[in-house]
Amino acid sequence: MFRMDLNNLRSCGLAMALAIAGAAALTPAAPAFAQSAPQPRSLPDFTELVDQVSPAVVNIRTTERARTPAGPGAGPGGGPMDEEMQEFFRRFFGVPMPSPNPNAPRQQRPNPRGEDESPRGVGSGFILTPDGFVMTNAHVVEGADEVIVTLSDKREFKARIVGADKRTDVAVVKIEAAGLPHVRVGDVRRLKVGEWVMAIGSPFGLDNTVTAGIVSAIGRDTGDYLPFIQTDVAINPGNSGGPLINMRGEVVGINSQIYSRSGGFMGISFAIPMDEATRVAEQLRATGRVSRGKIGVQIDQVTRDVAESIGLGRPQGALVRNVETGSPAEKAGIEAGDIITKFNGQAIDRATELPRLVGNTKPGSRVNLTVFRRGGQRDLAVTVAEIEPERTAAATPRRNAPQGGEPARATSPAAQTLGLAVSELTEAQKREAKVKGGVRVDTATEGAQRAGIREGDVIVAIGNTEVNNVREFEAAVARVDKSKAVPILLRRGEMASYLLIRPARG
């Protein structure tokens, strides 16, 4: 039998312990991150948020009075009502409205005068104040003769439309009640991409439906006056006007749009940032309308190629394509082809930022702006006017090539290398094109044709060199490096554009 003396065993154990300790002392310490590996995070629990916010979320049902043929042949489900309903949902969601709930009250009530009350649409909203101001989308209440607000406790109120702003799709309605549950407004500036958010609304008329997801992007440009919040929260017809809620139970946006190729939800939805919506709502509550500034320019993006070719460096600012006659911009000396890089001291990185800055400026204010023109920066002062009330803008008629006389054509070998033949402008043509000088394109071939230049265009600058006549045009062309893209500033009708004539490839 194998036996070991206890003292020997203890001695061996002590020796082994010392050996292990010594080895540990010689072994490099393990990295700290290995000792504190990140713990897996559990999915968020939205139950408390739902209990907290849902009492302040409302269903909004709208109706309109339509005159329909009276008599035995007029059925209760007439075509005009169906067409209006379908158009409403095609317009805002790309899908037809499903059949209404048969238990819903007041589907249609004919009266002796031949007026029918037709359901127009269904949406969502949320209570801003205890005394009954409710925020929703402008398209939810557009064209409505009656707005019915249903609370989460099933109480119904007829609402008065305080004001609606189509440009931002924000509306405020008022119900006569007191002591109502209301939302808390969050700070949109604290919102981060990847953050969990939740929506509550009435998709397809299903009240108090909760969906959740994350913030996919911030400042997404899809409109003139709003940088939208993009999320993957499921939004469907009826969610419009409902709140987008952060994990602190605060409203950070109004669910407004979806992107869809099929008409159904595809994982991309957009919400109006609450800071922008609040600014609009305050004006609507105060005056029933929104006052915005304007300077009277039509703008476009500045491409990287154009920015590099004219010495702007990186693509920034807003390219002025047209200046309205008699506008503040014209009075300030802004010209078509200018690139506005700053407005009231704030740099403009993208063209879409300019309408927001101008629109949020109080009409009558005098502000400074910086433009890039002919290779240099210059500061101009402009007095902001008030934009006209919302209306459908009339399309600017397309003009043919400026008329007036037949001046002799003038070309040069230098100009021909660009594929251009040009001629002098008559005084009548200058007035027609609203330019002080330039040359008229008679023919465009090869590189010029590939760039998009065509007969009748008026060239006002080659690169950063202004041209007033054929002589100046030829001199400017002779100086450019034709192995690189040549930027051409031209006027076509009332619009200015930069086009690049690129060297031919061998």
CA dist 276 → 92, 165, 319 (Å): 21, 12, 25
Q: Which two tokens stand for residue 108?
A: 């249609």
The per-residue pLDDT for 259 is 78
Catalytic sites, residue numbers:
139, 169, 240
CA dist., res. 169 & res. 92, Å (int): 11
- With a cut of 70, say whether residue 56 has pLDDT above it: yes
The full length of the chain comes to 506
Report phi then psi at 160, rounded to 5: -105, 130
- With a cut of 70, say whether residue 116 has pLDDT above it: no
Q: Going by C-beta distance under 8 Å and a sequence separation of 6 or more, which residues neighbour residue 442? A: 409, 421, 422, 423, 455
The per-residue pLDDT for 313 is 87
Q: Which helix (H) or strand (E) element contains residue 297?
A: strand 297-300
CA dist., res. 128 & res. 144, Å (int): 21
Q: Which two tokens stand for residue 424?
A: 């002098």
What single DSSP character describes residue 186?
-
The per-residue pLDDT for 395 is 35
- Residue 3: pLDDT band (50, 70, 90) is very low
CA dist., res. 358 & res. 383, Å (int): 11
- With a cut of 60, say whether residue 411 has pLDDT above it: no
Q: Is 323 helix (H, G, I), strand (E, B) or coil?
A: strand
The per-residue pLDDT for 53 is 95
The per-residue pLDDT for 387 is 84
Q: Looking at residues 349-356, what average pLDDT do you find?
A: 89
Does domain 45-67+80-98+108-290 match CATH 2.170.130.10?
no
Among candidates 447, 443, 456, which has minimal Cα distance to 490? 456
The per-residue pLDDT for 98 is 45
Q: Looking at residues 36-45, what average pLDDT do you find?
A: 69
The rounded percent of the chain whose pLDDT value lies above 70 is 73
CA dist 133 → 269, 284, 439 (Å): 25, 11, 59
The per-residue pLDDT for 464 is 87
The per-residue pLDDT for 120 is 65
Q: Which two tokens stand for residue 186?
A: 């969050």
The per-residue pLDDT for 389 is 65
The per-residue pLDDT for 413 is 59
Domain extents in the chain? 45-67+80-98+108-290, 293-386, 409-501
Q: How does pLDDT run across 430-487, given as a tens digit for each residue?
A: 888 888 888 999 888 888 888 889 888 999 999 888 888 888 888 888 888 878 888 8
- With a cut of 50, say whether residue 427 has pLDDT above it: yes
Among candidates 501, 506, 504, which has minimal Cα distance to 309? 501
CA dist 73 → 5, 65, 77, 112 (Å): 115, 19, 11, 15
CA dist., res. 41 & res. 216, Å (int): 19
The per-residue pLDDT for 320 is 93
The per-residue pLDDT for 420 is 87
pTM: 0.65
Q: Residues 282, 286, 287, CA angle at the centre, nearest 5°? A: 120
Beta bridge partners of 269: 231, 258
Among candidates 460, 402, 400, 458, which has minimal Cα distance to 431? 402
Q: How does pLDDT run across 68-103, given as a tens digit for each residue?
A: 444 443 443 344 444 444 544 444 444 444 444 444
CA dist., res. 17 & res. 236, Å (int): 68
CA dist., res. 171 & res. 161, Å (int): 8
Identify the weakest region by mean pLDDT among 141-155, 292-306, 382-396: 382-396
What single DSSP character describes residue 61?
E
Whole-number average pLDDT of the chain = 79
Same fold, 45-67+80-98+108-290 and 293-386: no
CATH of 409-501, one of 2.40.50.140, 3.40.50.150, 3.30.70.20, 2.30.42.10: 2.30.42.10
- With a cut of 90, say whether residue 162 has pLDDT above it: yes
Q: Looking at residues 222-230, what average pLDDT do you find?
A: 77
Q: Cα 362 vs. chain centroid, distance in angstroms?
A: 21
The per-residue pLDDT for 24 is 45
Residues of the chain by 3-state class (helix, strand, coil), percent to 5: 25, 30, 45
The per-residue pLDDT for 87 is 45
Q: Which two tokens stand for residue 310?
A: 């004219």
Report phi then psi at 460, rounded to 5: -115, -15
The per-residue pLDDT for 174 is 96
The per-residue pLDDT for 392 is 35
The per-residue pLDDT for 150 is 94
Q: How does pLDDT run across 284-337, given as a tens digit for each residue?
A: 999 998 988 999 999 999 999 999 988 998 899 999 999 998 999 999 999 999
Q: How would you class 10 by CB atoms within 10 Å of its CB: exposed for 0-12, middle for 13-18, buried for 19 or more?
A: exposed
CA dist., res. 60 & res. 39, Å (int): 44
Q: Going by C-beta distance under 8 Å and a sequence separation of 6 or more, which residues neighbour residue 435? A: 425, 458, 460, 491
Q: Going by C-beta distance under 8 Å and a sequence separation of 6 or more, which residues neighbour residue 364? A: 383, 384, 386
Name the residue type at position 117.
E
The per-residue pLDDT for 81 is 41
Please give the CATH number for the structural domain made up of 293-386.
Answer: 2.30.42.10
